[in-house]
Structure 1
Amino acid sequence: MAEIHPPTYMVLSLLLIQGTFGQRWGISLTHDHICAVSGSSVAMPCSFTHPPGLTVTKVYWTINPQPNIEPADLLDMPTYKDRVLYSADISNNCTLTLREVTVADAGEYNLRIVTGHYKEKWLQRPGFHLTVTDLSVWIPGPVLEGNEVRVVCNNSCRLEDNATVLWREKGQGVSGGQTKYGRLILTNVNTEDEGNYSCALKGFDGHPSTAVKLEVMFPPKDTSVAVSPSSEIVEGSSVTLTCSSDANPPVEGYTWFKVNESTPVGSGQQYSITNIRSEDGGQYYCEARNKYGAETSTAVSITVTGIVKQQYAAFVIVGVLILGIVSLSCAIHWIRGRSGNEDLGGHFGRSEGSKAVKGARVVSQDCTTQYANISLIRPAHRRRCSDEDVRRHSDRSDSIRDAVSGGTRGVSQDCTTQYATVSPH
């Protein structure tokens, strides 16, 4: 039976009214007052007696009847359509069942009995009172982290000291102490206690209250500073410091400090230094605050690096690269020049009958390649040479050798002078 009533005793209301035939009307109720939760169903057990010799033709209930006005049947009222149920036994049963009650259903309900005798109609006075309550959760606020909070399930029913209130958070039962008034007690609350809380009365488990959010307030914590782009900054560039903190309500203000300075250096969640100089180096920290407190971060170090040092490092790197490239180039040319000289020597070592040696290549000391076309010219007439001819040709050969590198002159046994024409390219 979905109803709230004192469990230790029963209220019996017995009304005896003298009827026309000298007999009495009588009605018995289990309660004279019922308090129900909105959305639940209410059942009021009821029985009656009537004078003998009368035939009961109709038994119904009405609400808040007015004097000298025939009371209306609940079944005929649009607001009660499909929500009212009477007993089928009208000989002495007057039980009323009311489904899905609302706050508007609250009032005095009276029983009306009609018989076959026009003078034998009976209206119960007084009737029983129905109170319908909407459950609601009340959280005294603000709820501060570390404190105790008592969550209250509000209703308009007169709950007994031992009435059981069921508490849920996200649909799950909540483990926690309760006072004799069904209040939920949470001690040393923290952010893990946050959630949407609802309450229900035992016996009305399926009709909980609307859930209410429990929000835990706390001052800033886990405050820290981030540096961008890095903590080592080149002189003349820029750096930005960002302060982060967890707080509820959110942080209301940030203040920036430099270690060993008595006054703040800035405000806001970010602090930027442009065209940074060496005297801007040092340790910086921030303070975050809201209405419940403040917290300071650990200091971070900013190091300003001189620009000369950076340029010197760049020059060294570039110099090493250039030296490496030049060394590699000279090595390649030396290898190629050596190969060319071997080819040229091979051409001079050929038979005397060769007409010309072309494409000779000479590698100079400065790693550049010089090319020469060498042609051997043979005179038309031959004769045997004397010792004087040999000496004279030898002197000329020495002079030519000194004048032209790579040129040569050969003297054959028949005293014929062979000249080489050298054309550098």
Structure 2
Amino acid sequence: MALRTAGSVLVVFLWSVAVVLGQNGWSVTYTKKSICTLKGSTVKLTCSYIYPSGRVTTNLWFYKKDAKGNPVSLLDNPDYKDRVTYRSERKNGHTLSIRALRESDSANYKFRFITDGNKGKYTGDPGVTLSVTGLQVKVTPAAEGQKTLTCSTTCTLTDNPTYIWYKNGHKVKEDTSSLDSDSFSDADSYSCAVKGHEDLHSPAVYGPRNTSVSVSPSGEIVEGSSVTLTCSSDANPPVQSYTWMYRKNGDGSKNTSVSVSPSGGIVEGSSVTLTCSSDANPPVDKYTWYKKNVTSPKASGQSYSITNIISEDRGEYYCEAENTIASNNSTTTLMIIVAGKQTSVVTAAVGIIVVVLVLILCFSGLMWFRKKASKSTSDTRDKADDGQGDSIPVYDNVSIMAMSPTDKPTDKPTDKQDDIHYASIHFSRSKNQEVPLYSTVQLPQTQKQEEDVQYSAVKFNRPLLPPNPQQHKHLRRTHLFSTAQSTNPEPRNTEQN
């Protein structure tokens, strides 16, 4: 018993002496004894060492030994080929660099050196513990409508980095905390990174996408057979649970479409009614109207009326039909194109032109009739002038004023005397009369008369009676007959002696 105790004391003494010698003459000091860094990044392990005498002939970094117990330099390890470098930065100082870190690089790395003095060898313990981690966003339910996002790592990153948050690939904020409690939408994706390593994003997290169902065996299924339905979905984190729903053919909403009344062009100030229809069983119990690129709904109900349309109402409209089973958007959208108010400028211009043309035609017709009437009168006068040399007296456009028996001839006609108008007066001499003088007067007829008859109205003042009694007597023997046709259906003959 005493010998056993003495032996134990000797072993402890010798070990203590070795430790003292090692601490006094040999040592390795590491800058950091523990490092947590990102996967894909580069890390540097630095140390300094001392030894009692001689010259250092060999140095190396290792984390494992061969079968004989000899340390294997990282330079000779195929897993680290082309990824590590050794570099002496100062006297008795050494740095190991590892690029493109992998999670499998997590290990305890030690530095070993050999001197030429008495073949001295020394390994620095306990070495440097390297932990390589990737980033991962974890989603934790929080308050209603919100979820907490955590930029998670398997170890605590060294140097207290700043975290960067991304939404749908776009940077949204920086924070020293790895937590983000903003509202989380299943339709969006979220990721995080560490400032200084923005290229090392975490995998994005998002709700289930591209959910589909497959059946096995495929093909026609007959009664009494068995099938297996498989649901798959793209989601991160992975889908935790699947729920199967059964719906008979015809259930839910389908064939949802929209229509507009009235159809055709739509101008500002007008009104239209949009109608949504859907084939559903059970029937649709809710219709909601949306305008494309506008998040909030425009209206509810199967019909949506837009009154007093303005230019801002232009755009694409669609409806959502919903029953107790499901909802469905219209397969087509309705484009409303609003045109500005249009005044009938062209119509007004055409109307003005037509009125002007009618006035021009009327004026031209009036001038033509006046010209033709003037020409007819001129022709009649020319004929009268040409017949003055004949033995038959011909008179044209003669006006004789009627006188009562009590009237006396005066030198001037009075204003109270009525004017008598004649047109186309022709006189001829009969063989049995000394001076038979006839006058046929035709007044303008109604529109029922022939259009070829031409009239000329001529106004003459009554001439003075001849002072010579013989001439007066001669005139009294002259019978002047005048037949005038007027609007009165019965002709009237007047005879003056």
Query: TM-score category by the smaller chain?
Result: 0.3 to 0.5
More strand by share: 1
Q: TM-score, normalised by structure 1?
A: 0.48
More RCO (CA 8 Å, sep 6+): 1
Q: Which has the larger radius of gyration?
A: 2
| TM-score between both structures, scaled by the size of structure 2 | 0.42
